[in-house]
């Protein structure tokens, strides 16, 4: 996956969405090791996808895995939390997020 991310960046990708098939849909957290390896290997933004189950998972993706953004599909689809709840939690943990659409 790291080699493909590097190749994608070399070919002009503007960002990379990293989704581990082992974590996608589980809501048990992101594959932090994979995301970190890719984040460190490329100079374009990396989006963590697949696995968000609680707000702390989003924080871990940014702080530990060095992701630039977080995708939150199932977490939002099954009404476990709203986007504002995730953003507020991340903001409380010192992560810069847009709190509303005007920022």
State the pLDDT confidence band at 7, using cuts at 50, 70 and 90: very high
User: Regarding predicted confidence, which is higher, 73 or 10?
Assistant: 10
Of 4-8, 58-62, 89-93, 97-101, the poorest mean pLDDT is in 97-101
How far apart, in Å, are the Cα atoms of 6 and each of 18, 50, 75? 12, 20, 29
- The 10 Å CB-count burial string (b at 16+, else e) for 62-84 is beebbbeebbbebbeeeeebeee
Pick left, alpha or beta for residue 55 (phi over 0 → left; psi -120 to 50 → alpha; otherwise beta). alpha
Prediction pTM value: 0.86
CB-based contact 12:39 (threshold 8 Å): no
CB-based contact 68:43 (threshold 8 Å): no
Give pLDDT, residue 69: 94
Give pLDDT, residue 21: 84
């Amino acid at each position: 996956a790291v080699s493909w991310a590097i190749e994608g960046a070399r070919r002009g990708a503007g960002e990379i969405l990293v989704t581990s098939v082992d974590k996608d849909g589980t809501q048990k957290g992101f594959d932090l090791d994979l995301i970190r390896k890719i984040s460190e290997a490329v100079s374009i933004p990396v989006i963590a996808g697949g696995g968000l189950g609680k707000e702390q998972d989003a924080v871990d993706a940014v702080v530990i895995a060095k992701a630039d953004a977080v995708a939150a599909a199932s977490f939002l689809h099954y009404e476990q939390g709203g986007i504002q709840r995730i953003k507020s939690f991340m903001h409380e943990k010192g992560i810069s997020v847009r709190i509303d659409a005007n920022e």
